[in-house]
Amino acid sequence: MAGRNIEGMKEACAAAIPILRAWDYVGVLAFDITPKMVVPMTPAGAVPSLISDRLRRLHADGGTRLMPALATAHQIFESLPEKDSIAVRHVVLISDGDCPKDDYEGAVMKLTRSGVTVSTICLAGAQFDPGLLSEIARWGRGRFLFTNDPAKLPHFVANEIRAALGY
């Protein structure tokens, strides 16, 4: 994600924190060619300053490889010591969908078999594939949203979190 898009994503992550309860876990995984754990999974009450600091340092590198990010998300959820007691396990994936062909269905189904749902937000750029992101959301038993305005990301992410948590 370039310039304006990465700034919209940063704002979306920061805006999501106040919606969560202090004991809800949250993590931020950025991806381009390789996934990078920006904010490790931790209770939301301990995160606001950590997220602000880590997001400030995040920048766009280019490229969109979803497979390593989906595999890393699965590993993260599986490694949580409290994984069996976490009632809602949800991923909000933001991308333009411009990525190489791969077995995304298999990767998303692996997440869903682990009790993780996946929603997607297609942030349209010069190259984008809303079809892929729509399918990922369908396979992930989540919702698909589309925008070409990065300023809408905080609202979209907040709504996805509310929907996932049932409030």
Q: What is the pLDDT along the chain (167 residues), one digit of tens a residue?
A: 455 677 778 788 888 888 888 888 888 888 888 898 988 888 888 766 777 777 777 776 666 788 999 999 999 998 887 765 677 889 999 888 788 889 999 999 999 999 999 999 988 765 666 788 999 999 999 999 998 888 898 899 999 988 888 87
Domain 3-165 has CATH 3.40.50.410: yes
Cα–Cα dist 25/33, whole Å: 26
- Neighbouring residues of 163: CB distance < 8 A, sequence distance ≥ 6: 119, 143
145: number of Cβ within 10 Å: 23
For tokens 């009790």, name the residue: 115
Q: What is the pTM of this model?
A: 0.87
Burial class (CB in 10 A: 0-12, 13-18, 19+), 103: exposed
- Neighbouring residues of 106: CB distance < 8 A, sequence distance ≥ 6: none
**3-state class (DSSP) for residue 73:** helix
Q: Which strand (E) or helix (H) includes residue 143?
A: strand 141-147
